[in-house]
């Protein structure tokens, strides 16, 4: 038996300022609906309690409105479905010409950022050699980009809510271009690291705004169908990066790894200005935009995350984990982040991050999976080519080519999962399956040795790519499905942030583990630990060293370091598999709530 009653109009008030529902080719802000002129017969609200299933559903159906062009719209609140605001699957939704241009433009820009993020993987030893740098400086050439990219993502996404998506995207491209120029003309590591940091700010902005803009224009159920064009661009950039970097370094100079970005930057700025045009639902004055932005929260967040990640990156590489130089920035960073959490609750609803993103254990588990996905993916992207170059004696180009099986299979893994999740409306199966495959193949990496058959190596990397691709897409969709519709854009941004955060953490932890394990084995053989501290430069020393007991011992020390890193990866991937079991079922049929529209 069911009882019906009429609820208050709070549902209308909650969403009347900034949201749009899309069916076919109509995307209409609900603020445009004139409810004052609509009769009670036009809007029916009913709330039904099902006593048998102990669930409550509140349904608002707009039957007729003061325009013939607006289709019937229904929104359902299903408390039993974890409090989600759902709508019938928008199967009829199709992108307009403007939306196609925006999606293609974002895919092109993403290709540029992905290429730059991975192009130095096989080039760092050469850069360290040419600029007379140490292994630590070469490490920071890669890590500095990852740190700034991760830290600024939530800040840029939040500021874009008030200052505009297109404006922040153009600004991010400007930062990326300036950083590229600084890197390409660097004469020493200080200038190179400065350029990489500036590049990271721009790259992070591009990553997060790509996620957010897709949330603005594409309904969640349809999003997996169209986002693979961005995933494909990222995969192609990641595939080509190490190979292109190796070829450019061997045939020309490592500086061409940055020169190659110039045409991408120019074209990227052009398409961002002329094609990525987003119309704001509610216009604000410049003074209102300044007041709406949580500048205090942004300052605390950037400062706290920088301190924390610098301490993590220093640990075991530049300073011992027990030293004050490592512990102090970590403690300061953690304290600042606790202050940030307190400030966000006080600053609400104008806080930098809506804390409602973390409103249940499913959301926290999905974000942890995102962090581990970035950690595993980038650790593999760095240490597998390093294994080929050091232990197997491959050139930079050959090392990039040998890593292709993992990256090539990542694309179809992502695309297949995207199609199936969109068709089925379910995502948990892909998360669990992806983590199972990834954990298994991380363990199989331990089969790598000084003379392992390359066929075995390629098969393991190919299966690893499939598993990682499954996780990459399904976790992205899952985080957005778990979030409340009004938080979806920032939830997508946090997915990118946690994935990017996992990258520097993974490289830092793996670097410390690799160095310590390699140093321990060198000590057993009576060899100096400096070899481990300068392992990138020793890649070139090994190529000229005659075969003998010393070379065999050094290669064995390298393999000890790699195996320890692979064990760490297996354990972390296994933890993500266990944590993912916490994720509950959520509907992908959400209404499209947005502050910006391309229609």
For 454-499, give the secondary structure using H, E and C: HHHHHHHHHHHHHHHHHHHHHHHHHHHHHCCHHHHHHHHHHHHHHH
Q: How many Å apart are CA 169 and CA 113, to the nearest integer?
A: 13
pLDDT score for 91: 54
Structure tokens at 515: 């160095």
Average pLDDT for 72-94: 47
Q: State yes or no: pLDDT of 85 exceeds 60.
A: no
Mean pLDDT value of segment 544-566:
90
Q: How many independent structural domains does the chain possess?
A: 3
Residues 233 and 342 in one domain: no
My answer on whether 218 and 314 are in the same domain is no
Whether 263 is covered by a domain: the verdict is: yes
Among residues 52, 71, 93, the one where a domain terminates is: 93
Tell me how far apart the alpha carbons of residues 65 and 243 are, in angstroms, rounded to a whole number.
57
Final residue of a structural domain among 38, 59, 93: 93
pLDDT in tens, 474-486: 998 889 889 888 7
Residue 506 pLDDT > 80, yes or no? yes
Q: What's the pLDDT band for 573 if we cut at 50, 70, 90?
A: very high
Whether residue 441 contacts residue 409, with contact meaning beta carbons closer than 8 Å, is answered with no
- Domain co-membership, 468 together with 424: yes
Residue 440: the pLDDT is 96
Q: Are residues 54 and 101 in the same domain?
A: no
232 part of a folded domain: yes
Domain contains 585: no
pLDDT at 77 over 60: no
Tokens representing residue 285 in the block:
């004055």
Percent of the chain with pLDDT over 70: 82
Tell me if 320 sits within 8 A of 363, measured CB to CB: no
In a domain, 394, yes or no: yes
Mean pLDDT of the residues in the chain: 79
Please check the confidence at residue 181 and state whether its pLDDT lies above 50. Answer: yes
**Contact (CB, 8 A) for 313 and 508:** yes
As given in the structure block, the two tokens for residue 129 are 């050699």
- The arithmetic mean of pLDDT across residues 469-494, rounded, is 86
47, 78, 93 - which closes a domain: 93
Q: Are 337 and 461 in the same domain?
A: no
Q: Are residue 314 and residue 442 in the same domain, yes or no?
A: no
Per-range mean pLDDT, top range of 216-225, 327-336, 504-513: 327-336
**Given a cut of 90, is residue 473 above it in pLDDT?**
no
Over residues 132-154, mean pLDDT = 82
Question: What is the pLDDT, as a whole number, of residue 464?
Answer: 93
Verify that 289 and 380 share a domain, yes or no: yes
- Global model pTM greater than 0.85: no
pLDDT surpassing 60 at residue 57? no
592 belongs to a structural domain? no
Rg (CA), the chain: 25
3-state helix, strand, coil in the chain (%, to 5): 70, 5, 25
What whole-number distance in Å separates Cα of residue 138 and Cα of residue 193?
A: 9
Are 118 and 228 found together in one domain?
A: yes
Residue 252, domain CATH: 1.20.1250.20
Is 547 within a domain?
A: no
- Rounded to an integer, the average pLDDT of 385-403 is 84
| Residue 393 per-residue DSSP state | -
Tokens of 98: 């403007």
- CA proximity to 534, closest of 550, 515, 553, 520: 515
Please give the angle made by the CA atoms of 444, 449 and 455, to the nearest 5 degrees. 65
Instruction: Say if residue 387 is preceded by a cis peptide, omega within 30 of 0.
Output: no
Range of the domain at 84: 2-93
Q: What tokens appear for 40 in the block?
A: 């009670």
96 Cβ partners below 8 Å, 6+ apart? 25, 598, 599
Q: What is the dihedral of CA 81, 87, 91, 95, to 10 degrees?
A: -120
pLDDT of residue 393: 86
* 131/126 Cα distance (integer angstroms): 9
Mean pLDDT across 39-55:
39
d(CA 583, CA 361): 7
More confident position, 49 or 502: 502
3-state secondary structure 48-67: EEECCCCEEEEEEEECCCCC
- Are 288 and 318 in the same domain? no
CA 390 to chain CA mean position, Å: 29
N- to C-terminal Cα separation, the chain: 44
Token pair of 330, please?
């970590």
| pLDDT at residue 511 in the model | 85
Please indicate, yes or no, whether residues 254 and 130 belong to a single structural domain of this protein: yes
- Answer yes or no: is pLDDT of 25 > 60: no
Is a pLDDT exceeding 80 seen at residue 522? Answer: yes
Question: Which helix (H) or strand (E) is 336 found in, with range?
Answer: helix 324-347
**For range 424-430, the mean pLDDT:** 88
Please list, in sequence order, all residues whose beta carbon lies within 8 angstroms of the beta carbon of residue 241, skipping any fewer than 6 positions away: 114, 115, 116, 117, 118, 119, 121, 400
**Neighbouring C-beta atoms of residue 197, cutoff 10 Å:** 18
**Looking at the structure, do residues 62 and 8 belong to the same domain, yes or no?**
yes
36 secondary structure, DSSP code: G
| Total residue count of the chain as it appears in this document | 599
pLDDT score at 505: 87
Does any domain span residue 465?
yes
Q: Is residue 529 part of a domain?
A: no
- Per-residue pLDDT tens for 204-254? 999 899 988 988 888 888 888 888 788 778 777 877 787 888 888 888 888
pLDDT bracket for residue 89 (50, 70, 90): very low
Q: Are residues 85 and 126 in the same domain?
A: no
Two tokens, residue 348: 């609400």
């Amino acid at each position: 038996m069911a009882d019906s009653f009429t609820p208050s109009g709070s549902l209308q008030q909650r969403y009347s300022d900034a949201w749009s529902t899309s069916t076919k080719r109509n995307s209409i802000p609900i603020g445009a609906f004139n409810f004052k002129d609509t009769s009670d017969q036009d809007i029916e609200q009913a709330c039904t309690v099902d006593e048998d299933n102990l669930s409550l559903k509140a349904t608002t159906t707009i039957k007729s409105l003061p325009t013939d062009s607006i289709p019937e719209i229904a929104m359902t609140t299903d408390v039993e479905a974890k409090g989600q605001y759902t709508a019938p699957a928008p199967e009829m939704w199709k992108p307009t010409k403007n939306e196609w241009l925006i999606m293609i433009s974002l895919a092109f820009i993403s290709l540029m950022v992905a290429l730059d993020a991975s192009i130095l993987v096989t080039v760092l030893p050469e850069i360290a050699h040419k600029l007379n740098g140490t292994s630590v400086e070469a490490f920071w050439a890669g890590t500095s980009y990852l740190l700034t990219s991760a830290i600024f993502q939530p800040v840029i996404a939040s500021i874009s809510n008030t200052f505009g998506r297109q404006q922040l995207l153009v600004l991010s491209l400007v930062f990326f271009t300036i950083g590229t120029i600084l890197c390409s003309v660097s004469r020493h590591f200080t200038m190179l690291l400065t350029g990489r940091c500036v590049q990271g700010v721009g790259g992070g902005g591009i990553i997060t705004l790509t996620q957010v803009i897709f949330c603005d224009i594409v309904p969640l159920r349809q999003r997996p169908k169209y986002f693979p064009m961005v995933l494909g661009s990222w995969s192609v950039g990641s595939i080509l990066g190490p190979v292109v970097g190796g070829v450019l370094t061997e045939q020309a100079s490592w500086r061409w790894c940055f020169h190659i970005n110039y045409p991408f930057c120019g074209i990227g700025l052009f398409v961002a200005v002329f094609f990525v045009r987003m119309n704001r639902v509610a216009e604000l004055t410049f003074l209102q935009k300044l007041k709406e932005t949580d500048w205090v929260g942004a300052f605390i967040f950037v400062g706290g995350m920088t301190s924390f990640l610098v301490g993590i990156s220093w640990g075991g590489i530049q300073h011992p984990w027990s030293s004050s130089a490592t512990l102090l920035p970590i403690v300061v960073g953690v304290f600042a982040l606790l202050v940030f959490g307190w400030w966000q609750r006080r600053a609400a609803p104008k806080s930098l991050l809506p804390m409602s993103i973390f409103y249940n254990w499913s959301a926290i588990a999905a974000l942890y999976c995102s962090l581990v996905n970035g950690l595993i993916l980038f650790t593999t992207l760095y240490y597998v080519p390093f294994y080929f170059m050091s232990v197997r004696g491959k050139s930079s180009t050959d090392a990039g080519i040998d890593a292709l099986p993992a990256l090539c299979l990542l694309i179809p893994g992502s695309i297949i999962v995207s199609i199936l999740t969109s068709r089925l409306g379910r995502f948990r199966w892909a998360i669990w399956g992806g983590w199972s495959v990834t954990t298994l193949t991380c363990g199989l990496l331990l089969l790598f040795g000084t003379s392992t058959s390359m066929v075995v190596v390629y098969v393991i990397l190919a299966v690893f790519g499939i598993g990682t691709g499954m996780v990459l897409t399904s976790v992205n969709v899952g985080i957005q499905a778990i979030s409340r519709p009004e938080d979806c854009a920032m939830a997508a941004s946090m997915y990118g942030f946690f994935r990017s955060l996992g990258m520097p953490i993974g490289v830092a932890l793996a670097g410390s583990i690799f160095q310590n394990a390699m140093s321990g084995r060198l000590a057993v053989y009576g060899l100096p630990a400096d070899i481990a501290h300068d392992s990138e430069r020793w890649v070139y020393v090994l190529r000229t060293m005659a075969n003998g007991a010393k070379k065999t011992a050094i290669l064995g020390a390298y393999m000890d370091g790699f195996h320890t890193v692979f064990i760490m990866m297996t354990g972390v991937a296994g933890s993500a598999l266990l944590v993912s079991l916490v994720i509950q079922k959520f509907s992908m049929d959400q209404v499209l709530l947005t502050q910006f529209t391309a229609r």
